[in-house]
Structure formats: C-alpha cells, structure tokens
C-alpha cells in the first residue's frame, strides 16, 4: 500500500467512511465519519458528502456492502440502494474502486485484530491456522468464514443469515409458527438481528401474553426502529418483556453460531461481530449463550473445545476493507 485509501462500510442502517494509511503495525483508520442511510437516496451521495469535507481525496477506494456482490455490482439487502462500481468511479472521479461483502470484510479483519480488539467469551485451546467462522448480527445477519491457503487467510462470504430458522424447544417452535403466518419463510435473520429483536418482542407480547411497553408499542405502530429501546430496557432490567426478548435472541444466536461452527469446522474459533453483540454484551457473557452454542447432541463435546471471541474494534469492517485493498494493490503493483 503506497498511499491513502478510502474505505467504506455500508450497512442496512448507516454508512461509515474513513481513510486508511500504512503504519508500522499494518494500517491506521482515521477521519471516520458515520452517516444515516435514511438521509440519502444513494451511496454516491454519502461518499460525496464525506469527500467534500476533506481536502485530500484518495485515488483508491474499497467499499464493503451489506449484500451479495457480483461483477462489481450489489444491492443492499435491507436498503433500497443499488451499487455499481463503474458508475461510482465516474461520478466520484476515483481511479479504482473495489467492492466486497461487508461480512467478508469483517472476516478479513480477524487475522489483524490485536488483543485490545476482541473479548474472549469462551476460552479454549486455540488451534493455529485452522478455519475461522464469523457471525455478525446487526440490522440483518451476516455469516462468513476464513480458511488458510498458501500461508494466508482467505475469506468467503455466505448468505447463511437467510437460511431457514430451526427452532429449539416449544417456545421457539411457537415463534416460528407466529412469524411464518406473517412473513412466510422465516430465515435466521428474522429472529437473530436488530430487526429480529423487534420480531421477538412482538411475538412475546402477542402470543405469550407478555407485558407490553407503551413507548415501544407506539414506535412499532409508527414503523420506527425500536431496537435501541428494547436493548436499553433490557440492560436496565426495567421491562421484563425486553429482557426476555434479548435472552431469546442470545439463545438463538448461540445456537446459530454453533451451527455455523459445525458447518465449516471452525476449529480455530468463531468471532461475533456486527452492531448487536457489543450492545448486548452482558447477556452474551452468561452461560445461556454458551449452552445454546454447545447444545448439539453428539457434537457437543467438539463445540466445547471451540473458542469464541466478540470483536470490540469499533471499525473492524473498515480495517478488513483496508486489508483487502492492500492485498489487491500489492498483487497489482499499484
């Protein structure tokens, strides 16, 4: 990497942009700004706002998006934006733009994370150079994994968040029936994400007779995102239904993390990222998450040996995007 690079993280709710520069320990991410996606109609407008406030404009950019990337194009899964690299290069006057999935970028950050960038939730013997899994509940649910090839880790994006939700126990079976009646196919994302937490809350109120909160109910009626309210009440312990909803999400997340670890044989561990884990960290530190993670019958003993970390780096996706860009520029000699 011979010069600064623009790095962009496009989520379902917000977009973060920063400048990546080489440093003695790898790469520094500076000048980070975050924008609400609801305020703009297209990604190009957000990036243009950022660049207008800076005197220096990098010639290269790497954009990580919450959606499937094909041939330099992507549609954001939980946002009505279409991203086209060719159009962005022309409108922003940048020499090179690379596009990748945001959870792929998050996964690419993992080999570069330092001790202060993660919190270990389950300590086990760490196997070097094995497969690593990443699960990231935010606005939606992202899943990815890394394998080592020729001495380097390579990340693979998946659409695992859109696979079918498999309930564990009677409560989750009733949850599946409740949501199937409303949305048809119930993906894991429907019950294990920011939007999923709202679904869990509504299920508990409507089907389980749980106590409703007036402010949350009003927000839901207005079509607002009440996830922050549910989390705040749960952390304060001030609203029992919010506590139950977060506890249910943690159990589902633990089970899905265990599923992912088994599917890719993540013997070097699994990392939790995205916007949700840090916000509900006290609930993830309980035995409920680990119990759900390891509750896999004949493979429970194997999962007990898989370490679990929570990513605490505030801009891990940007760091992963920078790592992706560095690798490409080194390969291309630019």
Q: How far apart are CA 231 and CA 50, in angstroms?
A: 30
Name the residue with tokens 């990815």: 144
Helix, strand, coil percentages (3-state) for the chain, rounded to 5, are 45, 25, 30
Q: Residue 126's pLDDT is what?
A: 76
Tokens of 258: 């265990």
Nearest to 201 by CA among 226, 223, 235: 226
Residue 2 confidence (pLDDT): 59
Determine the angle formed by the axes of helices 227-236 and 240-264, rounding to 10 degrees.
Answer: 110
**For residue 304, what pLDDT is reported?**
96
3-state secondary structure of 96: strand
- Give me the CATH topology for the region 5-108+315-332: Nucleotidyltransferase; domain 5 (3.30.420)
**What was the pLDDT predicted at 28?**
86
Low-confidence residues in the chain, pLDDT < 70: 1-2, 24-26, 329-334
Q: Judge if 5-108+315-332 and 117-312 fold alike in CATH terms.
A: no
Res 123: pLDDT = 85
CB contact at 8 A, 87 and 30: no
CATH number of 117-312: 3.40.367.20
Gap between the Cα atoms of 225 and 73, Å rounded: 28
For position 333, what pLDDT does the model report? 58
Quote the tokens at residue 204. Answer: 């508990």
**Can you give the C-alpha Rg of the chain in angstroms?**
20
Torsion angle defined by CA atoms of residues 137, 279, 281 and 295, in that order, rounded to the nearest 10 degrees: -30
Each domain of the chain, given as residue ranges in start order, spans 5-108+315-332, 117-312
């Amino acid at each position: 990497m011979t010069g600064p690079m623009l790095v962009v993280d496009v989520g379902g709710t917000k977009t973060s942009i920063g400048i990546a520069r080489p440093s003695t320990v790898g790469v520094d991410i500076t000048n980070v700004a975050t924008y609400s996606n609801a305020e703009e109609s297209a990604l190009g407008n957000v990036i243009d706002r950022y660049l207008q406030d800076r005197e220096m404009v990098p010639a290269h950019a790497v954009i990580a998006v919450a959606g499937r990337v094909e041939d330099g194009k992507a549609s954001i899964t939980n946002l009505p934006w279409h991203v086209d690299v060719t159009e962005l290069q022309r409108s922003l006057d940048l020499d090179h733009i690379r596009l990748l999935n945001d959870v792929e970028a998050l996964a690419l950050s993992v080999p570069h994370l330092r001790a202060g960038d993660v919190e270990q939730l389950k300590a086990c013997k760490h196997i070097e150079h094995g497969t690593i899994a990443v699960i990231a509940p935010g606005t939606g649910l992202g899943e990815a994994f890394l394998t080592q090839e020729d001495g380097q880790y390579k990340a693979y994006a998946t659409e695992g968040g859109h696979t079918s939700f498999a309930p564990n126990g009677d409560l989750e079976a009733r949850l599946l029936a409740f949501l199937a009646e409303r949305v048809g196919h119930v993906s894991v994302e429907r019950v294990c994400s920011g939007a999923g937490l709202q679904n869990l809350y509504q299920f508990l109120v409507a089907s389980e007779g749980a106590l409703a909160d007036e402010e949350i109910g009003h927000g839901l009626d207005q079509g607002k995102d009440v996830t922050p309210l549910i989390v705040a009440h749960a952390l304060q312990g001030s609203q029992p239904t919010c506590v139950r909803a977060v506890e249910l999400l943690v159990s589902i997340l633990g089970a899905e993390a265990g599923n992912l670890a088994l599917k890719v044989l993540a013997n070097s561990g699994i990392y939790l990222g995205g916007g949700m884990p840090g916000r509900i960290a006290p609930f993830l530190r309980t035995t409920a998450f680990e119990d759900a993670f390891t509750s896999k019958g004949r493979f429970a003993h194997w999962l007990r040996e898989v370490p679990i970390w929570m990513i605490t780096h505030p801009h891990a996706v940007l760091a992963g995007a920078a790592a992706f860009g560095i690798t490409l520029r080194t390969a291309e000699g630019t």
